[in-house]
Structure formats: structure tokens, C-alpha cells
Amino acid sequence: MKTLDELKKIQRTTQEKTYSYLNSHHYNWFKAIDLNLLNSDGFTNYFLRIKKNEPTVFEALQEKVLDATITAFQKELSDADSFVLLTATWANGFMPEKAIAAMQDLDRYLTNYTLQKDPLIGINQMNTDFNQVLLQHLPKVRRQDLRLIYRLLALKETSASERQTELASLNEPTRIRTVALLDFFIK
């Protein structure tokens, strides 16, 4: 994983002002996800089992989550798009080699997170729980954001032609948003 010195060098300039990644809410989001989800059994012990049994897979997942927040910071993604990219990245950790299975595991996890058995309520409740430890809060997730998370996971392992077929079926604003985030997610 990147060192603190390497993270200090990550900056972006917007309207003649320089912003540091370490002082951004993106870094705070990474720390919250890392400490409370990946390295804790407070939400699920799944990631702790990966850390214990497959440390190299866990380190790769941790690095991907960090890279997702860095990308969101550098590309100035909206909070909703940053959250979608971050969530799709850690959710892919449920089954790194099979994104479709990871999508199903995420759906099952979110469905079982609350008593209401609705993944949208589950992810928003999880964010509310995260927000208790954050200064800059994770955004409220809309149904379209959750569908985009699932779509990113579903499209990750498809061929270019299958991907184009799926993208062609979307309306233009959804297609534009999906293509933009898919470029960051697949890299």
C-alpha cells in the first residue's frame, strides 16, 4: 500500500488552488472503509477472514479501494459517483475473481444488513452507521446509484461487444455516467 509520503504528493489544482488528497474527504472515506469495514468485524467478518487466510488478496483489495478514492479525488468526481466507485471496488472484494458473484454477495449482504430486506435501505443504513465516525459524511444512496454499482460489477468481466450491447440499452445520461465510471473501475 502507498506510504504516507506518497499520499502527501497526491494533489490537484482547481481554479488556481491546490488541494491535497490527505486533507480531502476522499481520504477520510478510505480510512473509514479501511478501519470499519475491511479491518473490523463491525459490519462483516468476511474481509477479516480474507486478511487472515489470503493476505496478498486482502492487500490488493485494500490498494484498489485506496486507488478508487485517489481517482475520485483527482478526477473531481461528484460525491455520488465517488461513492459508487468506492462501493463497487470494495464489493468486488467479496469475490475478486468473479464480479457477478461479488454482485450477488453484495446484494445478499445489503439485503440482510437491515430487517427491511431491501438493499437500498441496507446500504443507506450502513452509510448512516459509517457516518457516526466520519466528519464528512457518505452521501445518501439513490436507487439509481445502487443500480449503477450492480451494473459496474456486472459489466466488469464482459467482452467489449457485450458491454456495448448493454450500454446501448441505457438512456443517455445513465450511459454517460456508466461509461465514465466503468473506465475508472476496470482499469
Percentage above 90 pLDDT, the chain: 70
In sequence order, what E strands does 4-146 have? 11-14, 17-20
CA distance 48 to 26: 23
pLDDT tens digits, residue range 44-53? 888 999 999 9
pLDDT tens digits, residue range 138-150? 899 999 999 999 9
pTM (2 decimals)?
0.90
Please say whether the beta carbons of 158 and 182 come within 8 A: no
Q: How confident is the model at residue 136 (pLDDT cuts 50, 70, 90)?
A: low
Q: What's the pLDDT at 61?
A: 93
pLDDT mean over 127-133: 83
Percentage above 70 pLDDT, the chain: 99
More confidently predicted of 173 and 41:
173
pLDDT tens digits, residue range 51-67? 999 999 999 999 999 99
Q: What's the pLDDT at 131?
A: 83
Mean pLDDT of the chain: 91
Please say whether the beta carbons of 96 and 158 come within 8 A: no
For 70, the grid coordinates are 485517489
Q: Which residues make Cβ contacts (< 8 Å) with residue 159, sequence separation at least 6?
A: none
Q: What's the pLDDT at 134?
A: 75
Q: Is it the case that residue 24 has pLDDT exceeding 80?
A: yes
pLDDT tens digits, residue range 82-101? 999 999 999 998 888 888 89
